Amino acid sequence: MTAKVCILGPSGRMGRALIDAAAGRTEVRVVAAVDRPDAPGLGSQVVAGLTSSADAAAGLAASDVYIDFTSPAATRSIAKLAREQRRAAVIGTTGLTAADEAELAALAQAAPIVVAANFSLGVNLLLGMVQQAARALGTEWDAEVVETHHRAKRDAPSGTALMIARAIAAGHGADYDQVKRHTRDGDVGARPRGEIGVSSVRGGDVIGEHTAFFFGPAERIEISHRASSRSIFAAGALRAAAWVVGKPPGRYDMLDVLGLR
């Protein structure tokens, strides 16, 4: 079966990557492309026979599933529309607030949705590896996460860095919110045992790099992932779109899609 897909933000970095990655695939077909009313190139051709439009309700209605890599505000408002239509969704937007998450939870009551801060196979495998390392090493080994992204990225730390840090906390058996330390500045004192630090670097056109560090006595482990093309996220999101159509309502993630749970 071919899933009919609506792409949000075709003028964006991920929107373009999704449209490129969908070309030539049989499991998905792009049938609608919805952008914000003031987006550059609105109304221009996205793929043969399809132009972008600002009519989100019509774009969702024409499709089986929509793919959203936009902004938290857009993700929230389009999730409201999608709930009315019980439309399946693949959500990659990061930096979501509690209010945005609540809107996704409401959509997941009505439709199946896949939400992931990172759609790459490599990062989803890495999450299992860091959790296992944290469990084996315990808090005697200081765990830190460092992420690097391009200068246009708005949210920090990256959603992927937060997933990695949460996987470390799960490995330690800790509550992440009690042990997290997002960047350090000033007289912060000695590092408490069990703290999990996350630091963000921004610059140039870096697509996404993450390293989990485990500092032991006289030795260190580094587990890294480097993305060299947005095509890896696009391929994962399209795979998720084909997978999610027809599933029961609920919230799923890439471990479900990849069969790794």
Can you give the binding site for ligand NAD, defined by CB under 6 A?
A: 8-9, 11-15, 34-36, 39, 56, 69-71, 74, 92-95, 116-119, 233
State both tokens at 28. 């998905």
Nearer to ligand NAD, 187 or 205 (CB): 205
Which residue's Cβ lies closest to ligand NAD? 12
Nearer to ligand NAD, 15 or 171 (CB): 15
Nearer to ligand NAD, 7 or 137 (CB): 7
Nearer to ligand NAD, 71 or 139 (CB): 71
Minimal distance, residue 102 CB to ligand NAD, in Å: 18
Minimal distance, residue 115 CB to ligand NAD, in Å: 9
Minimal distance, residue 157 CB to ligand NAD, in Å: 11
> Residues with catalytic annotation?
149, 153
Report the C-alpha gap between 121 and 96 in whole angstroms: 22
Distances (CA, A) of 20 to 191, 233, 260: 46, 12, 27
Minimal distance, residue 188 CB to ligand NAD, in Å: 27
